[in-house]
Chains A and B, each alone.
Chain A
Amino acid sequence: MWTFFHKLGSPPYFYRIAGRLIPWLGWVCAGLLVAGLYGGLVLAPPDYQQGDSYRIIFIHVPSAWMSLFIYVLMAVSGAVGLIWRIKVAEAIAAASAPVGAWFTFLALITGSLWGKPMWGTYWVWDARLTSELILLFLYLGVIGLHSAIEDRRTASRATAVLSLVGLVNIPIIHFSVEWWNTLHQGATVTKIGAPSIDLSMLLPLLIMALGFKLYYFMVLLMRSRVEVLERERGSVWVREVVQTG
């Protein structure tokens, strides 16, 4: 097991393993997304209050979960890269930032589309919306810093520091904003005790969440493969890969 992880830290090995995993992830992810969407859009009953417009949660909630999950993963792999100087971890952190920013954006967009019929407005300065928006700013800061520094490895280490600072700050920002104002409906799934959501809605939601996660892993592997290739462009194995196709 450990040797597997050690080997994974080596770029050529990672490149090969990732290449083999991507199709599997892709097919399973496609299956889950189709099942989740069918369950969510067709099988699940309409909500007794919100009618059909609640169905956007099958996109919205998984995106919001992913936006936080990816930030944590990015910061942790950044830290791993910073501490042990593992090139693959740096590549993973670099590849995560844009995907996380898009998921955050998606969560914001779907939320505001849902907010129009429900709250009567596209945007309210409510705690969760605001902290999601700030999360987007944090992602954009990470991306901006990464692209501003020319040397790839320096860029990775600088963004690792920034994302760790952000990680420490996310709870502070979140609770400050929460304390400042709140209108968003409370947590329905992750609260302690039984979820206050019917199984016929919960199941597609979880399937979608899993599908989103696999999608992220697939895109992550694709992007990190490219990133690794680019970073290692001077090495022999990259030349071999490029020549043999």
Chain B
Amino acid sequence: MRAFVAVTRRDLLLAVRRRSEIANPLLFMLIVISLFPLGISPAPETLRLIAPGIIWVVALLSVLLTLESMFRADFDDGSLEQMLVSPHPLALLVTAKIAAHWLVTGLPLLLVSPLLGALTHLNAATTVVLAASLALGTPVLSFVGAIGVALTVGLRRGGALLSLLVLPLYIPTLIFGANAVSAVMDGLPYHGQLMMLGAFLLFSLALAPLAAAAALRISMN
């Protein structure tokens, strides 16, 4: 547990020292979201119709942008190797890194979600569900993404490959996340979708660190 806290704190500290890394994905998200009214239509009805999908897709992409940073710096300076040879279980340390990654990327995303809702004319109730779906869904993206990063961290040009590996695995989260938001807009029950997201979260919490740890061992060889 101490190792878990130590790794999380270290990663958070590193992120705070380089604030632009936190800000860039958020700015990316805001800019891309504001492109849609320009590209499709500024009419509130249209925006409301596409809002759940675009917000979720852009969230997916902005998480994808930040995934590389999860292990990259540690791989380059050798601290990842130290984690591999440390007496603590690697899956635990990986979980700590994933938690830190989510706190740096997923949580800010959650905090700006009211702004995104306002930009796309979502009402208050819908925005709450949007935030709830993001709160449950974005950790899944970090967990699943960790496996992809762990597999590609040793490669020189892993970026494009990473999206090919990870995006198909993001599809269930996208479906249920966006669907929860559209359901509440249509006045339909949305608890089932949120529960599915919760189930994905627990499932990925249980299995993804193990897979990512195994993948890291292979990548470091």
- Residues of A near any B CB (own CB < 8 A): 134, 137-138, 140-141, 144-145, 148-149, 151, 154, 157-158, 161-162, 164-166, 168-169, 172-173, 176-177, 179-180
Stretch at the interface among B76-84, B119-127, B165-173: B165-173
A157 to B218, CA, bound (A): 7
Q: Is the CB of B171 within 8 A of A158?
A: no
Q: Is the CB of A173 within 8 A of B172?
A: yes
Q: Which residue of B lies closest to A172 (CB)?
A: B172
Inside 8 A of A162's CB, which chain B residues have their CB?
A: 147, 151, 165, 215
Inside 8 A of A172's CB, which chain B residues have their CB?
A: 172, 200
B164 CB-CB contact with A under 8 Å:
yes
B219 CB-CB contact with A under 8 Å:
yes
B176 CB-CB contact with A under 8 Å:
yes
A93 to B152, CA, bound (A): 19
The 9 closest A-B pairs by CB, nearest first: A176-B172, A137-B168, A141-B165, A157-B218, A176-B175, A141-B164, A161-B215, A180-B175, A158-B218
Q: Which residue of B lies closest to A155 (CB)?
A: B218
Question: Which residues of chain B (120-172) have a CB below 8 Å from chain A?
Answer: 147, 151-152, 154-155, 157-158, 161, 164-165, 167-169, 171-172
Question: Which residues of chain B (200-221) have a CB below 8 Å from chain A?
Answer: 200, 207, 211, 214-215, 218-219, 221
| Total A-B residue contacts, Cβ distance less than 8 Å | 70
A-side interface mostly: helix
A158 to B221, CA, bound (A): 10
Inside 8 A of A144's CB, which chain B residues have their CB?
A: 161, 164-165
Supply 12 A–B pairs (Cβ within 8 Å), ascending by A.
Answer: A137-B168, A154-B221, A161-B214, A162-B151, A164-B211, A168-B207, A172-B172, A172-B200, A173-B171, A176-B196, A177-B175, A180-B175
A221 to B147, CA, bound (A): 31
Inside 8 A of A179's CB, which chain B residues have their CB?
A: 175
Q: Which residue of A lies closest to B167 (CB)?
A: A137
Q: How many residues of B contact A (CB 8 A)?
A: 27
Inside 8 A of A154's CB, which chain B residues have their CB?
A: 218-219, 221
Tell me how far the C-beta of B68 lies from the nearest C-beta in chain A, rounded to whole angstroms.
Answer: 15
Q: Is the CB of B151 within 8 A of A145?
A: yes
Q: Is the CB of B218 within 8 A of A137?
A: no
Tell me how far the C-beta of A121 lies from the nearest C-beta in chain B, rounded to whole angstroms.
Answer: 21
A164 to B151, CA, bound (A): 13
Q: Is the CB of A161 within 8 A of B152?
A: no
Q: Which residue of A lies closest to B176 (CB)?
A: A176
10 A-B pairs besides A161-B214, A162-B165, A173-B171 with CB distance below 8 A are A137-B167, A144-B161, A149-B154, A154-B221, A157-B218, A158-B218, A162-B215, A168-B207, A172-B172, A177-B175
Q: Is the CB of B161 within 8 A of A148?
A: yes
Inside 8 A of B164's CB, which chain A residues have their CB?
A: 137, 140-141, 144
User: Which of A138, A141, A158, A166 is the one whose CB lies under 8 Å from B215?
Assistant: A158
Given A145-B161, A148-B158, answer yes or no on A173-B168 (Cβ-Cβ < 8 Å).
yes
Q: Is the CB of B179 within 8 A of A161?
A: no
A179 to B172, CA, bound (A): 10
User: Which of B152, B179, B218, B221 is the one whose CB lies under 8 Å from A180?
Assistant: B179
